[in-house]
Every structure is written in C-alpha cells, then in structure tokens.
Structure 1
Amino acid sequence: MGWRMIVAAMMLTSAAAGAAICSDDMRIQMHPSMDQRQQSMLRQWLVEAARTVSDYGGAVPVPCASIEVMTANRGQGPVPWAQVIRSGQEGIRFYVNLDYSAEAFRQDWTAMHEFSHLLLPFPGNDAPWFSEGLASYLQYLLLGRAGILTQEQALSSLDGGFRRGRAAASKHNKSLRNLSGAMWASRSYQRVYWSGAAYFFHIDVALRRLPAPSSLQQVVADFVACCRHSGRSWSVPQLIDQFDRLSGTSLFSHHYRQIIDDRGFPDVSDAYAWLGMVADGASLQLSPEPELRRRRTQLVMGAPAVKPGARPAVTGRWQ
C-alpha cells in the first residue's frame, strides 16, 4: 500500500501543527505566505527526494515524518539551511528562498542530504562524522539515481567534496576523533563531513568487491528493516557493530579504526582505481573501460540484487 501525504499551509505554531492529523503519512507544513504555485513546486521537490531516499533504504524510514517549510531571510541558494528534527515526531525543517526555480530546487543537494539523515536514529552529538558522513556520501549519488545529475556529474560532485575535505584536513591537522565532537566550535565541517563520506565510500566499494558482492545500500536497508524503529538508543560504536553484523564482515569497524585517529584525510585511491576514477588536477577523469563503467553505474544507480531471504520483505514508499 502506498503512502499518503498531508500538506498543510499554516502557521508553524504548536497549535497549528496539531491541526494536521497524521497516521502513517508524511506531513508537510508550509508557511502561509506561500501561494499555491510555490507550494506545489516545493511539494514535488520534497516528495521526489523523500521517495529516492525511501527507495535506497528499502522502506520509508520515518512514518509520519514532520516536514516544515519556512521562508529564509538570509543565506544563499534555494535552501540556505535545513535541520533534522529529532525531538517529538522526527522530521526536517527547511528554510527556502522562493526566488529560485523548480529546477534549481531539484538540483540542490540539501533535501537528499537531510532525508538521508532519517535512515539512521540520532547517535548523539559526540561523533557527528558518522551521520553527516552517510548523508554527505549519499547526497550526490541520490541526485544521480533520481536522474537529476548524470552519473558523471554525481561522481564529480562527490570527488569535489573529498577535495574540500582533504584541504580542510591539512588546515586543521587534528584527528577525526578530536575534531568531530568539537566540530561546531572549530568550524571543521568540511573535514568532518567529508571524512565520514570517504569512510562510507570506501566501505561501499569494499562490500562490492567481496566474493559474494554486497553494498552499503543493502546494509542500510537491512538496518531500516530490522532496527530503525526498535525504540533503543544507538551510539556510533553500536551502529558500527550492528552494521558489521548485518554485512557479515568487519569492514565497518576495520575502517573506523583506520580513520578515527588519523590526522590526514582518509585515503580513497584504491576505491578510485577499482572504479576507474582518476583525480586529475581539479577535475575527475573516468575510464571508458566497460567493466569499470559498469561498476560506476552500479554504484550510482543501485546495489546488486538482494538474495532471497536476505532481509524481511518491506513495503511502503513516499509518494
């Protein structure tokens, strides 16, 4: 059965929020200054992003997610900023600039990033590299999967993130463990976010290289199916242990030990070579060799087929 959606154009106060009755639906509340054309444009943008993340995770990660859309009075781009809501009903609050076109919103990475956060429970503020890393790793790949970016553009954008993270690592010259919890005070966002993204990228490739290939997508989907709504609290070490169990490997803990106390940026050169990606100056070169092209296509567009019985059947998609 598909998922319904309630769209409420109302003031975002506690009283008004209560007026939007929700059972299993995604509830989108928009600021009353938005006209019908603007609401329709934003609704299509949000639903596309939510559906893409839902498909990646195998199911809607947060039933009845509370999505609030406010107008921004500062910042740059279509979505100057956004934040995940973890208290009460989980969801996301977006601040948008209505001067931008529908296509500009589609090409902006923010919605894919923020919806990706909902794939995991909140692991606390002491190690944001993990949750921000997953969302940063997925944001461009999911734009590629949705057909908004080409595969080449998605991979080039991912490479650009790694370059920014590498430059930030040389500037801060501290371990990821020391910087992650102090990210807000040290303003080491690029270092923390993209080190985490490199961690998940390296593991995704490593899973695909196993004798019985798997993928990060399958591990995340298995987690959503078994554990996302368990009601328990999760720390980053606990999530890493669970991901090892779900993948039947020690890849998550192994790569964690490799990066967490390193002052440098995680080395992704081996994963690049396996995919036929070469960082050439300020650009990314992609090998035309058919097998390497196939690997890149699989990375962006989807994981290998899940073995029968590998995880419980799941239903429901954001529509």
Structure 2
Amino acid sequence: MRGSIVAILLCAQGWATEVVYQDLHVLDGKQQAIVKSWLNQGLKTTEQTLGPLAQSHLPVKLQNVYLSSEPVPWGAVNRSEVDGIELHISYFATQQQLISDWTLYHELAHLYHPLLDYPDFWLAEGLATYLQNIIMLHGGVITTDEYVQRIMAGLERGRLGTWETPGPLARVSEDMWRLRAHARVYWSGAAFFIEADLALRQKDPALTLVSLLKRYQTCCRTQAPAGQPDSAKVFLGQLDRLSRSSIFSNLYHSYKLRQDFPRLSKQAVRLSGLHMMSARHSELLRQK
C-alpha cells in the first residue's frame, strides 16, 4: 500500500511485534522520526506492562491535524481480521508531548480485550481508561500521586455525568454517543476494574488484573467471540476462571443495572496503583 513502512519492534522480554504504518507519507521527514520513536516507545511500555499482544502485527493509520490544542486529539481502534489503531496527531506536537499524552496507551489497551456489544461498552472503555493510567504509571510517564489525581478527577467527572444521564448503566452505555454520556460510561467501567483489582488483592496478593490479562492473551484472546451479546460475559468468565473466583461476573451483574455512581476513596485508588507496582516489582525479581 502507498506510503507503508514495516518496522520490527523488539521488546525487552524478547518478543517481536510487527508494526505496519499506514499513510506515513502524510507526515514530513521530521514528523516521521518523532512519531515512529513515540509509537515504538509507547508499544514497548504497553507490552512491558500488559504482556505481548495476541496478534503478530499491528496496523497503525495516521492522520495529520494542524489546528489542535492537544498532541493527539483523536484515536480509535479499527477492528478487523487484524485489529489496528488510528491516531490523529498534531503537526506541532513534540516527542515529549506525545509520550505524555494518554491516547496511544488507551487505544493499545483496547487490543487486550475483544470487541464487546454496545450495552457493554462501559466495560471496554472502562478497562482501557484504567489500563492507560496503569501503563503510564508503570512506564514512569506519571507518578503515583499523578495516578491518584487523574483517577480521582475522572471518577468525579463520572459522578457528575451520572446526574446528567440517569438510567441503568447498560442502557446508557448502548446510547452513549447520542446522550453524550462518555464520562459516566468510561469512569463507571474504570471503577468496576479498580474494585475488581482490589478484590483480587484480598483473595491473593499476587493476583492483579494485569497478571490475568497476560494469561488471557495466551489462552483465550484469539478465540474470543467479538461483538456478540455474550462477548462480555465470556470475557469476564475467562478472567474468573483464571483467577479461580467469581469476582468479575458478580460485579458485572450488579454494575450493569446500577443507576448510581460507584464510591471509591482516594485511599482505595492509591492502593490499586501501589498494588500494581508491587506486583510488577515482584514479577521483575522473579525474572532475574
């Protein structure tokens, strides 16, 4: 295809992900160098945190944006036979501004779960929202204090959004775009996974959502049903099986019908980040 460049990214653990850049020709030479370095670093940081993607290559579609106050004003996952991502990038963004932006980490995080049906988009967006912050924390892009600040600010937006878009979460999620209910949908889902993570910790200090997702990529990701009414139940059922619990399924049945916004303390949010960092440190020690 026109303007495509194939690059091999070798991650620290030794696996390789083939990245296929589409429409790289829309960027000038200086931009190309900045964007490729940023994408390589972002993918490396993501895979070091969540494990290798369960696909042999990653299509990346790029678009230049000249008038934007954000480094990456828009991103999306392109679901296909091989899932890819699309990123709209500010022409004037520096490499550091791109690294500090959350969009790439969010879209890459979506590749770790299958496509879910519209009533369960709160799960998909919540997972990616939670994981983008975990990736940035693990990668040293943000500190623990910044992690807590970002999560608490997001949860507050979700709480306010719940007043603006009342109704059962699954129904609001299904009509998220028309209702402009993004804050409620995204952050209700993030709260779900924070609660699940804390419950995993109580069951077994070595268990985390990240550790389960790594195993899920190996056992189940490529065979997962995509975009079906039961896709979310199958996905969460696999996480329950891997954790030998019913944590995810039980939370799912209560969350999808809830009309209020979850209450999470700053202490609980901080604990979720520290738990992830502690588990990551223990894993690195085991690898030595």
- Partner residue, 2:275: 298
- Asked whether 1:108 is paired with 2:101, we answer yes
2:56 alignment counterpart: 63
1:99-248 paired onto structure 2 within 5 Å: 99-211=92-204, 213-230=206-223, 232-233=225-226, 235-248=231-244
Query: Where in structure 2 are the equivalents of 1:28-107 lying within 5 Å?
Result: 28-73=21-66, 75-107=68-100
Give the TM-score normalised by the residue count of structure 2. 0.86
Q: Say whether the 8 Å CA contact 1:74–1:80 is kept in structure 2.
A: no
| SS of corresponding position for 2:72 | coil
Say whether the 8 Å CA contact 2:168–2:259 is kept in structure 1.
yes
CA-CA distance at 1:45 after TM superposition: 1.3
**Alignment partner, residue 258 of structure 1:** 254
- Between structure 1 and structure 2, the one with the greater Rg is 1
Distance (Å, rounded) in 2 between the aligned partners of 1:216 and 1:47: 24
Do the aligned partners of residues 185 and 133 (structure 1) sit closer, same or farther apart at CA in structure 2, a change above 3 Å counting? same
Q: 2:2 aligns with which of 12, 16, 25?
A: 16
Residue identity in the other structure for 1:185: R
- Aligned match of 1:8: none
| CA shift for structure 1 position 20 | 5.6
> 1:42-83 CA deviation, whole Å, 9 max, x = no partner?
112111221122123322233211011111255540111011
CA contact (8 A) 1:217 1:303 kept: no
> TM-score normalised to the size of structure 1?
0.78
Greater RCO (Cα-Cα under 8 Å, separation 6 or more): 1
Q: Once superposed, what is the RMSD of the aligned Cα atoms? A: 2.6
Letter in 2 for 1:268: L
Listed one character per residue, the Cα deviations across residues 80-126 of structure 1 (whole Å, up to 9, x for unaligned) are 10110112431101011021211111111000000000011212333
Cα deviations across residues 214-243 of structure 1 (Å, max 9, x unaligned)?
110111111111011126446111111111
Of residues 206-215 and 260-269 in structure 1, the stretch that sits farther from structure 2 once superposed is 206-215
Aligned partner of residue 59 in structure 1, secondary structure: coil
Does the CA contact (< 8 Å) of 2:26 and 2:63 recur in 1?
Answer: no
Asked whether the 8 Å contact 2:3–2:24 carries over to 1, the reply is no
CA distance in 2, matches of 1:201, 1:103: 28
Contact between 2:73 and 2:88, CA under 8 Å: does it hold in 1?
yes
How many angstroms apart in 2 are the aligned matches of 1:20 and 1:50?
Answer: 15
Identity of aligned residues (%): 27
Helix, strand or coil at the partner of 2:259: coil
Deviation at 1:260, TM superposition (A): 1.4
Q: Which amino acid aligns with 1:240?
A: L
Provide the C-alpha distance between the structure 1 equivalents of 2:192 and 2:255, rounded to a whole number of angstroms. 8
**CA offsets, 1:11-51, max 9 Å, x none?**
xxxx4278869996111234324222211111121112211
Q: Distance in 2 between matches of 1:304 and 1:206?
A: 20
Aligned-partner residue type, residue 110 of structure 2: H
1:26 aligns with 19
